[in-house]
Amino acid sequence: MGCRTLFSFKYSNEDFTIKEYPLYNFTYPSLLKACSHLLSLKEGMQIHGNVVKFGFDTNIFVQNSLISFYGKCGETKLCCKVFELMDQKSVASWSALISSHAKVGLWSDCLKIFGDMCRDGKFRADESILVGLANHGRAEEAITVFSDMLEEGIEPDDITYVGVLRACSSVGLVIF
C-alpha cells in the first residue's frame, strides 16, 4: 500500500480517528520509508506534520527516518533542519545526513559532516581504519593499527577484535 492510499483512507474515512487507531513511534518510520521509495515528498511532508502534531518529533528513530526520507527525496536543506533540531544524535543520524548529501553529489559537505561527526565523538577512526584494512587484504597494516591502539590505551570493542582476527586469519596467523 503506497502513501497515497494510506492518506486517502485516513482523510476520506470519517470513522478513522487517532483514538481508534493509536499511532506509535514505530508507525512513522515505516510510512516514511514507503514515501521515500515512491519519492512522495508531499505525502511525506504531511506525515512529518503529523509527527510534530502528535509529539513524536523528539523520537530519535522518527527523526532519523525523517532525515533519510528527505535525503532520498533530494531535500538536503530539510534533512539539515531536522538534524539541527535533534537533541541527541546517533551514528545513524550522522550517516543519514551524510548519505543525503552524497545522493546529490555534495561531496565537500559530506567530508565536512564526517569531520563534525568525528569531533562529536560518534566515530572511532582507528577502528574503522583497522576493519577497512583487514577487509581489503592489508593484514599487516591492520595489525599495526591494532598494536598502536593498544599502546595509546584505546580499549578495543567487539568490532575491533573481529577486524584484527580477520587480518590475522588472512595471513595464516589464525586457523579456524
pLDDT in tens, 55-93: 999 999 999 999 999 999 999 999 999 999 999 998 889
Q: How far is it, in rounded angstroms, from Cα 35 to Cα 43?
A: 7
DSSP codes of every residue in 108-135: HHHHHHHHHHHHTT---HHHHHHHHHHH
Angle at the Cα of 125 (from 120 to 129), degrees rounded to 5?
160
pLDDT tens-digit map of 119-170: 888 777 677 778 778 877 888 888 888 888 888 888 888 778 888 888 888 8
Q: How far is it, in rounded angstroms, from Cα 14 to Cα 8?
A: 11
Residue 88 DSSP class:
S
Domain ranges within the chain, ordered by starting residue? 3-119, 125-170
